[in-house]
Amino acid sequence: MAATAGAAFGSPLFPNIGQAASRVSGGGPKRVIFFMQNQGFDPKTCIPAGMTSSGSLAKAKLPEPIEALEPFKERLHIINGLHGLHTSPSHSAFFGALGGYRGSDGVPPSGPTIDYDLSKVLPETLLPHLCIGMDSMDNMKAKPTVANLSASGAGQPIFMHSNPNHLYQMLYGGISQGDIRKQHEARSSMFDRIEQLAAAHGKALPMADQARYGQYVQGFHDINGLRGRLSGVSDHLRKFAPKVDDRYTKPEFETDWHDVLLDLGVSALKSGITSVLTIGSGRGEIFGSWKGIGVEEQGHNLGHMKQPDNPIWIKIRQYNSRMLVKLMEELESVPEGSGTMMDNTLIVYTSNNADAQHTSGATWPVMLLGNCNGIFKTGCFTQLDGKRPINALYATILKSVGVNCDRYNMSEKMAAKFDSGIGPLREVLV
């Protein structure tokens, strides 16, 4: 984890954590949330019955799996007809889902992913990019961090946090009391010592190994720097730190940890700690468990079930939708500029595996929430012709934050085969 910490941690000179978003004027998102549900996103679970062509959602009734979003239809844009054929998804597209390139199990990323690239151009924060991963309790305990979705560059994965106790210590340990504070101080002391030892002994390595070793040294340096910067804004953070309860230390179900991970993600956004939040439900893999909402099946078997009209998948997608509602309501509660934080936020909901667990990637449904002060179209459904890749959506989001990008992570040779257009999706922007 330390080896990639430098990719995600912000400048040590950042002075005004609570005012980060105010530095962007005009339209466009000041923060972006990616919510990736594993096992695919069947378009029939989000497109209103009878809608076969683009149109308004005003008089449409949302399908049961996403019915929690009904009161928020004016902020919703359902998109069908993007593709990810070139990502070669099987059980997952892994890093390719957010990178727009070929991905596979155990294969390192071949380039950065859109969430990381956005974190570099959005208003500066202490931790520009935060990734959280939701899985079965056993997996989250045994592997509290894992990297399957986000990357800062070729061969540079970004780890996601799955143990909320560890994440809480990292974000709020310096302002906590009791055991949490003791554990935070012990870890800080350990990381300081590791950095000192690593820096002292790395020079004895052969030249060929020194560069790679230097990444580890820099990683611990960045972790220690983040802890120091968070301590420097402790008074501000106290306003946003979630209350620690039994869900952290005595969870009955894995969804207890899912819920508090979401709380920590929300607090990081509201406090200004981060500007990009990536949520991996299933952590970009075929795993995952939702016993807390009455789903006994878990992992790979879920992907072999048809999603439309399936009571199991209805429960999972409804759970997702309630999380989306919570994100919107929490951000709506915080004034920002002449509106609220939600007015300046874009939420992207999709899957790391197109429309199904076993898929060619020919259709890749996406839901967008938020218009970012009139930049994005909302309250509508858009049916595309399947000739533009997910890369075009990512180029569109980059365009919305002022980065001109004709093609995102796609060469002209690849585009000749997989992209019928160039530049942003006109159907998404106002």
What is the spatial distance between Cα 402 and Cα 173, in angstroms, rounded to a whole number? 36
Q: Where are the domains of the chain?
A: 29-166+272-418
* pLDDT one-digit tens code per residue, 279-312: 999 999 999 999 999 999 999 999 999 999 999 9
Determine the Cα angle at 284 with ends 256 and 346, to 5°. Answer: 80
CA distance 315 to 149: 24
Within 60-113, where are the H helices? 96-99
pLDDT of residue 2: 42
- What's the CATH code, domain 29-166+272-418? 3.40.720
Q: Which residues of the chain have pLDDT under 50?
A: 1-25
At residue 210, the pLDDT reads 60
Q: Where are the alpha helices (DSSP H) in 94-206?
A: 96-99, 114-121, 137-142, 164-172, 178-201
Those residues with Cβ within 8 angstroms of residue 62's Cβ, 6 or more apart along the chain or in another chain: 46, 48, 69, 70, 73
Whole-model pTM above 0.85? yes
Q: How far is CA 78 from CA 97, 222, 277, 292, 366, in A?
A: 18, 39, 20, 28, 6
Q: Which residues contact 128 (CB under 8 A, 6 or more apart)?
A: 8, 9, 10, 119, 120, 122, 274, 275, 276
- Which pLDDT belongs to residue 372? 95
- Token code pair at residue 58: 């005003």
Can you give the pLDDT at residue 191? 55
pLDDT of residue 162: 97
107/119 Cα distance (integer angstroms) = 23
pLDDT for the residue numbered 30? 95
Structure confidence by residue, pLDDT tens digits, 123-150: 989 888 999 999 999 999 999 999 999 9
Torsion of CA 175, 180, 186, 187, to 10 degrees: -80
Q: Give me the pLDDT at residue 233, please.
A: 80
